[in-house]
């Protein structure tokens, strides 16, 4: 009996077992990274010796950049959405200002999507320099959050103390996370033989 072959963008022509093994492993990877993105704000929110937003934001943005490099957009949504819920649930990243995140969560999601989309567009689709994509995506992410938080501050919805965490610190953490993911995941693989 001749086995029907299906075209798979990773394996070329492959059998059914390889096809399902690939998606099974990819789903496990996506679930692990999604759990990390959700739990990091909760677990690391108790660190007091280092500004925890810098550490948490860098880890989450590295996870976003990793997902942008390895998966299509429709599979990345959990990593885009879950970190802001983890931050809100922990309540410690922004202290008594965490309640004001409710107003900013949709824009945090949008900025995370922009971050992933621009990295993916630069590196995967246009074959441009990854680090240029990180710089452009980080700038776009920070610009959106700066504009939104500035608008909310202007109308008195959120306090002025939220401006720095939603502007300059977002830029720094996005740049650091994107660069760390690029340095780690784009390095040439060593050949064993």
Cα–Cα distance list, 142 to 73, 81, 153, 159, 187 (Å) = 20, 17, 16, 18, 27
Q: Is 60 within 8 Å of 37 (Cβ atoms)?
A: yes
How much is the average pLDDT of 163-179? 93
* HSE-CB for 191 with a 13 A CA cutoff: 1
- Given the structure tokens 């996005």, which residue do they identify? 174
Structure-model confidence comparison of residues 115 and 124, the more confident one? 115
Give pTM, 2 decimals.
0.79
Nearest alpha-carbon partner for 36 in 70, 103, 86, 73: 86
Tens of pLDDT along 116-151?
A: 999 998 877 777 888 899 999 999 999 999 999 999
């Amino acid at each position: 009996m001749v086995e029907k072959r299906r075209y798979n963008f990773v394996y070329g022509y492959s059998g059914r077992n390889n096809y399902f093994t690939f998606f099974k492993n990819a789903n496990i990877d996506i679930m692990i990274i999604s759990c990390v993105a959700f739990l990091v704000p909760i677990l690391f929110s108790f660190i007091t010796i280092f500004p925890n937003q810098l550490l948490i934001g860098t880890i989450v943005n590295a996870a976003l950049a990793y997902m942008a490099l390895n998966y299509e957009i429709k599979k990345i949504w959990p990593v885009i959405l879950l970190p802001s819920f983890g931050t809100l649930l922990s309540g410690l990243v922004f202290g008594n200002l965490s309640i004001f995140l409710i107003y900013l969560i949709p824009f945090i999601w949008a900025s995370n999507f922009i971050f992933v989309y621009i990295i993916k567009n630069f590196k995967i689709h246009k074959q441009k320099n990854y680090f240029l994509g990180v710089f452009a995506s980080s700038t776009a992410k920070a610009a959106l959050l700066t504009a939104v938080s500035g608008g909310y501050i202007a109308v008195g919805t959120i306090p002025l103390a939220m401006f720095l965490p939603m502007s300059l610190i977002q830029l720094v953490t996005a740049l650091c996370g994107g660069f760390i993911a690029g340095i780690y995941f784009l390095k040439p693989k060593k050949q064993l033989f």
